Amino acid sequence: MQNQELPERPSLEYLKKLSKNRLKQLRQVDPGAKLEAAQLAIAREHGFSSWRALKLQIEGQRARKIASPIARALAVSDLGRSIPFYRDVLGFEVNETPDGFQAVLGPAQIQLKKKEGSPGERANTPSRSGNAVLFLQVEDVTATHAAFRARGAAPSSIERVNWIKMAMFEVRDPDGNVLWFGQSFHKHQDSPSRRDAQPHGLRMALPELPFDDVAAAVRHYRDVLGFRINYEQHDLGVMDRDAITILLIARTPAHKGIGSFEVYVSDVDALYEELLAKGVKVSGPPVSHPWGLRDFRITDLEGNRITFAQTFE
């Protein structure tokens, strides 16, 4: 019999249903037929030697669904040990590049480098092996956990982290780098329409950043950071970019020091590359945190700080 192809999005529930139907057919011939015989028949019809092999294939496909982008370089002490781990255990596709090896799984890209970082290298070069923390959002955290265990990994137990509304577990690579895998279990309840219904609902925040030279700050935010001038006078600049507005104000005795604020963005890695190419002073490349944010920070020409963050939900 020619092997049957699995559906585009197969599930264990689908295969269990097939097995139960096959068991009914087998019992018409052999009343003592067991479910294991039906499962084996279904597995072989789909080109697998056993039901376990078929089950692992399904769980592996579900585990490969990475839902969040990440681009990160990792220093590893032994490529010959790390490549099989990322390829065979975590399911990444690993390809050789001029800079080392790149492990790719959906929108996740991890550069594996043997070379240790040095002070003269760019900020996104890994400094040493074993000190990184990566966060990857997956579509099915239970299937991912099961697939990793089946391939020989030792993931921590899945825990519900209520304050970020995610179910998460941890895996460590051969160098001790920490990889968090998480899936949201919360649907946002506070929709804009619900906020608007509040009698005194807060609607918009307008951060104020102080400057000694407001005119120079306006040009910097327009020409370097990509903002548009909404309004300008000698001691005030109203600057827009996409859906946010900020106020550049004169530094006075009442407004000393520096300001800071955080912006949620839709593609933090693309914004990082844009600002880096324009010579913006960045603290480092985007970093994924276990609490569900991937972010990076910049400072403007007078030291005010902006954090750009992307959520994993």
CA atoms of 237 and 174, how far apart (whole Å): 51
pLDDT (tens digit per residue) in 29-57: 898 989 999 888 888 887 777 877 777 66
Quick check: do 70-184 and 205-311 share a fold?
yes
Question: Taking residues 62-84, what's their average pLDDT?
Answer: 79
pLDDT score of 299 more than 90: yes
Mean pLDDT, residues 242-248: 89
CB atoms near residue 182 (< 10 Å) = 28
Looking at the domain 205-311, which fold is it?
2,3-Dihydroxybiphenyl 1,2-Dioxygenase; domain 1 (3.10.180)
Tokens of 74: 């990792």
Q: Are 297 and 283 in contact (CB under 8 A)?
A: yes
Say if residue 285's pLDDT is above 60: yes
Q: Is the pLDDT of residue 139 over 60?
A: yes
- At 293, list the tokens: 């944010």
**Residue of 101, 97, 109, 100 lying closest to 136 (CA atoms):** 109
Q: What pLDDT shows up at residue 3?
A: 59
Range from 167-181, 194-208, 281-295 carrying the lowest mean pLDDT: 194-208
* Measured distance CA(288)–CA(137) in Å, rounded: 10
Q: Mean pLDDT over all residues of the chain?
A: 81
Q: 3-class DSSP state for residue 62?
A: helix
The b/e string for 63-79 (b: 16+ C-beta within 10 A; e otherwise) is: bbbbbbbbbbbbbbeee
Tell me the average pLDDT across 218-239.
Answer: 93
pLDDT tens digits along 200-228: 566 678 899 999 999 999 999 999 999 99
Percent of the chain with pLDDT over 90: 31
- Give the pLDDT score at 59: 57
Second CATH level (architecture) for the domain 70-184: Roll (3.10)
H/E element, 182: strand 178-184
pLDDT band at 143 (very low <50, low <70, confident <90, very high): confident
pTM metric for this prediction:
0.45
80 pLDDT above the threshold of 80: yes
pLDDT at 177 over 80: yes
- Domain residue extents for the chain: 12-63, 70-184, 205-311
Reported as a single tens digit per residue, the pLDDT across 99-120 is 789 998 878 889 898 855 443 3
Length of the chain: 313
Asked whether residue 68 carries a pLDDT value surpassing 90, the answer given is no
**Model confidence over 152-165: pLDDT tens digits?**
899 999 988 876 77
